[in-house]
Amino acid sequence: MRNKIDCVRWLFSLLLLLSFPASVSAADAFAVKVTPHHPDWTYRLGEEARFLVTIVEKVPAGKTYTVQYEVAPEKMPPLFQGKSTTKEATLRIDGGTMTRPGFLRCKVTVTCGDEMHSEIATAAFEPEAIEPTTSLPADFRQFWQELQCLHKEVPLDLAMTPIEAKSTEQTLYYHVSYQNFEPKNRSYGILTLPRKKGRYPAVIRFPGAGIRPMGGNSHIADKEVITLDLYIHPYPANMEGSFYDQLALTTLPNYMFFGTHDKYAYYYRRVISGCLRGVDLICSLPQFDGEHLAAWGSSQGGALSIITTALDQRIKRLVALCPAMCDFTGYLHDRAGGWPHFFGPENRTLYEKSEVIHTLAYYDVVNFARFIAVPGFYSWGFNDETTPPTSFYSAYHVIQAPKRLHVIPDGRHEIYPEQVEKTYAWILEAFGVK
């Protein structure tokens, strides 16, 4: 036990306590933080990682704590685990190393009486050397070009309904409906337009996973920028909340698994079509300047941002935060794969079939990332348990276009204010918007 967990010198304890704003609520007696011992959380292959555990008591009482821990490559079974009791404020867990690029995660659970807190920390081992496991289908480009050709034959049939309650002195809000690539199949979204006459740049924001309604991009809508928030499901984006509550009781929340037996039947085919038609929508507007168009998205939206940009050269910049749908087959190679984890332990027996693997190669973000030709801003955290960093580094590795990366080492599967501010500032600066 002692070769895995030891007391760290008081100096380390003091430094961590001073840098750790204890987020102890009124109901909690203590809080827990776990960090790798390298400040940037990154390591060389073969280098030993140590994880520092800090317990902060609301009122110092010298209590005895039970510490349970496990260390594993992310999303994989534990390499080792242990349990100890301590009265010390700071402990060290020797996490070992990795011999191939990836992420090593330490999960710690601390209990005292009836109170329990769990935290994680993830050490990165040469992550930018992570290679994808998926392969590029020989007819990948042809498959998607066929879909795009359908757009040329189908009228957009744009319908715009004003949303007076959201409109401001500077900006008009609209609910939009437009024709997808199939008859009777429409897509929806929330569009904003500057009131002042002129021609403006535009940003399309792609949605994260779920079936919730859209509200419009209020973050930059008043900056004399056209914005379009896309809704990926075949329902209007402006219904009452109860409508979406009812949808949540159907099978729709599992849409990401629909149709995986056939590349033409997979749910995301119509989703991607709607995204491409969203670009058509922007380009059809007389208020669009015809040149400055950016894509922005997080999680599922980050995936769709990369996918749409790879397929449509009219998009000139892209932002992808913790993108999903990257390197699905990672699990088949004993490492983490991308959301929605088709081949993870909970799904593998259902989806480890040749036809599913074949279909998913046409929808894997890694294969779209190979064709990105415009500058991109990418951002994520190492503690993301929904879209594992192993998976999106697989896509990041193959991008040959100019790319900027902002890592939040302790970041989880969230959108952080600093990501929003940095990415929109990057877009607006490039487009000459103050």
Please write down the HEC assignment for all residues of 283-311: HHCCCEEEEEEEEEEECHHHHHHHHHHHH
The residues with which 332 forms a beta bridge, in sequence order, are: none
Q: How many CB atoms lie within 10 A of CB 285?
A: 18
Q: Are 326 and 387 in contact (CB under 8 A)?
A: yes
Domains of the chain in sequence order: 5-127 (2.60.40.1930), 140-430 (3.40.50.1820)
- Local confidence pLDDT in tens for the 434 residues of the chain: 333 333 333 233 333 333 444 344 557 889 999 999 999 999 999 999 999 999 998 888 888 999 999 999 999 999 999 999 998 889 999 999 999 999 999 999 999 999 999 999 999 999 999 999 999 999 999 999 999 988 788 899 999 999 999 999 999 999 999 999 877 789 999 999 999 999 999 999 999 999 988 889 999 999 999 999 999 999 999 999 999 999 999 999 999 999 999 999 999 999 999 999 999 999 999 999 999 999 999 999 999 999 999 999 999 999 999 999 999 999 999 999 999 999 999 999 999 999 999 999 999 999 999 999 999 999 999 999 999 999 999 999 999 999 999 999 999 999 999 999 999 999 999 999 87
The whole-angstrom separation of Cα 387 and Cα 339 is 5
Q: SS3 helix, strand, coil % of the chain, rounded to 5?
A: 25, 30, 45
Distances (CA, A) of 233 to 185, 381, 425: 10, 28, 30
DSSP 8-state code for residue 212: P
pLDDT in the model for residue 25: 52
Q: Are 167 and 192 in contact (CB under 8 A)?
A: no
pLDDT in the model for residue 303: 98
pLDDT in the model for residue 89: 87
Spell 373-402 as b/e; 16+ CB within 10 A means b. Answer: ebbbbbbbbbbbebbbbbbbbbbbbbbeee
pTM of the model: 0.92
State both tokens at 268.
């995301």
The whole-angstrom separation of Cα 98 and Cα 123 is 10
